[in-house]
Copies of this chain bind each other. A is one copy, B any other.
Amino acid sequence: MPDSGRTTARGHRPDGARYGSRPTMKDVAARAGVGLKTVSRVVNGEQGVSPETEQRVHEAITALGFRRNDSARILRKGRTASIGLVLEDLADPFYAPLSRAVEEVARAHGALLINGSSAEDPERERELVLALCARRVDGLVIVPAGHDHRYLEPEIAAGMATVFVDRPPGRLDADVVLSENFAGAREGVAHLIAHGHRRIGFIGDQAHIPTAAERLRGYEAAMTEAGLPVLPGWVAPGSTDAARVRADATRMLAGDAPVTALFTGNNRVTVTAVRVLAGHAHPVALVGFDDFELADLLSPPVSVVAQDPAQLGRTAAELLFRRLEGAGDAPRRVALPTRLIPRGSGELPPVGDPDVRTAAW
């Protein structure tokens, strides 16, 4: 709380302004001996003020330490010049560039960015989104955590522009920008198959997350298309918690018919898998969904199916601003391609498959 009306030793105390309560246009007008509207004109750089008057107003502004209160301006104008971004975790290496890209687009349109992390909690997502609606942000970009976004219907009906990104909304028809999760995963798994693998494990994120489900579908499609069976122990969706991933990976690599390759469903799972494989007795092939920094410096360098998180964010934000500028056509669904990047780990030959004659170990 600003220490209202109290005098303190430190700090510059602008002449005429009470400490903690800022001068208003009215104060500036009084000091400059002009009308309120004239101050407004000067502050907003509008035409029709004589140079001398303008000068006097500027002096008063400086003397009083005046700064326009945008809260009042916003209330009057009806637009906040800000957009909201709700995602899972601002600090996640996948979402951080997405967030930054949204910020850049917002900046190009003169808008500020308010963002919040849902921590993968649907209730927290809802609270955040509705708080942003109450603030009357001009638009919303949402990476959904929940699976039912009907709570947004009244908001959208009332004019709140909303674009979903990375994952589709639940039970709601709205704009969405996605990566081609199914196709990307299928390509990654097919790549392993092309290098001779028949026993491939899938470790993914929680099955209720749409992207995770799509990637699992891609894995299954690639296996099926190659005429390969998917054994029960080879599919392990679940949390990205390191202990869980480690346990599943270790289990798949053990026994008398271990997998010879792993396909991992996102960056966090991949990193844990790399750690497990680093301690493993013989080489196991690996392709991960999502690129990550230093993947090329590991040994072996990690092959990935790369998304472009910044492009996801940029595309979503640009779509949002197109809506704000009036584009009123039906909700759009944009899918961005993924890119397979072979670096070494995905090109390792199968080792230890009892059914295939390959490099001995």
Could you tell me which A residues sit within 8 Å of B by CB distance? Answer: 1-4, 6, 8, 10-14, 17, 19-22, 65, 67-72, 74-75, 79-80, 82, 89-93, 96-97, 99-100, 103, 107, 112-117, 130-136, 153-161, 173, 271, 274-275, 278, 292-294, 297-299, 310, 324-326, 328, 330-331
- B10, B67, B96, B112: the one contacting A155 at CB < 8 Å is B67
Smallest CB–CB gap between A143 and chain B, Å? 14
CA distance A59 to B160 in the complex (A): 22
Query: Do A130 and B67 have beta carbons less than 8 Å apart?
Result: yes
Q: Within 8 Å CB of A297, what residues of B?
A: 274-275, 278, 298
Task: Please name all residues of chain B whose beta carbon is closer than 8 Å to the beta carbon of A328 when the two chains form the complex.
Answer: 3, 6, 8
Q: Is the contact region of chain A dominated by helix, strand, or loop, or is it mixed? A: loop
> How long is the Cα–Cα vector from A90 to B158 in the complex, in angstroms?
32
Contact of A12 among B132, B153, B278, B325 (CB under 8 A): B153
Contact with A158, one of B20, B116, B130 (Cβ below 8 angstroms): B20
User: Can you give 23 contacting A-B residue pairs, CB < 8 Å?
Assistant: A1-B79, A1-B326, A2-B158, A13-B157, A17-B158, A21-B159, A67-B158, A68-B134, A70-B131, A70-B134, A70-B136, A71-B74, A71-B75, A75-B75, A82-B114, A90-B100, A91-B100, A93-B293, A100-B117, A112-B131, A292-B294, A293-B294, A294-B294
Residues of the B chain whose Cβ atoms lie less than 8 Å from the Cβ of A278: 297
Q: Are A134 and B91 in contact, with the CB atoms below 8 A?
A: no
Question: Sorted from nearest, which 6 A-B pairs have the closest CB atoms?
Answer: A2-B159, A65-B154, A91-B100, A20-B159, A96-B96, A11-B157
